[in-house]
Amino acid sequence: MKNKIEYIILDNKSLIIESYIGNFKVDELIEFKVKVSNDKIYDPNFNVIHDFRKLEFLFGIEEISKYINLISKNSKLLGNRKSVMITETPNQVVTSMGFDLLKNNLPIQVNVCSTLENAFNFINLPKEDWKFIESLVNSLKD
């Protein structure tokens, strides 16, 4: 399977949707986060849906600090937001929960879940937007 990372920013919903497919090292995720932050409509206060269900992390919890360092030292990435990580496998759950545990004083509320419904509830997405957002999440996998 070829690696693929895609994102959509919905500025009218203050939402970023990110989809990860493949096997990734921490440096590749850092590079992607920098790319997203350089998008002209990016806002660090937008909530983020991370769809990790087709991803395998090729790093351990100890390397998460590199990613956290990037966020904490880059004002462009440091915002008050909710970040929901949708997972399916133990590898995804452990790494996502590791981020939540190690994020220290970052103003990011994290939730790790396994369904879109839980993700939408966590970020307080209005129910009338659910089908539309779900279709966008699924479109990023194609």
Q: pTM of the prediction? A: 0.94
**What's the longest Cα–Cα distance across the chain?**
40
DSSP characters for 19-37?
Answer: EEEEEE-HHHHHHHHHHHH
* Four-way CATH pick for 4-139: 3.30.450.20, 3.30.559.30, 3.30.750.24, 3.20.20.70: 3.30.750.24
List the pLDDT tens digit at each of the 142 positions of the chain.
Answer: 689 999 999 999 999 999 999 999 999 999 999 999 999 999 999 999 999 999 999 998 888 988 898 888 888 888 999 999 999 999 999 999 999 888 888 899 999 999 999 999 999 999 999 999 999 999 998 7
Cα within 13 Å of Cα(19), Cβ side: 17
Tokens 């997203």 sit on residue: 36
> What angle is formed at CA 24 by the lines to CA 109 and CA 140, rounded to 5 degrees?
70
What pLDDT is stored for residue 26 in this prediction?
Answer: 93
Distance (Å, whole) CA 60 – CA 47: 25
Distance (Å, whole) CA 26 – CA 131: 32
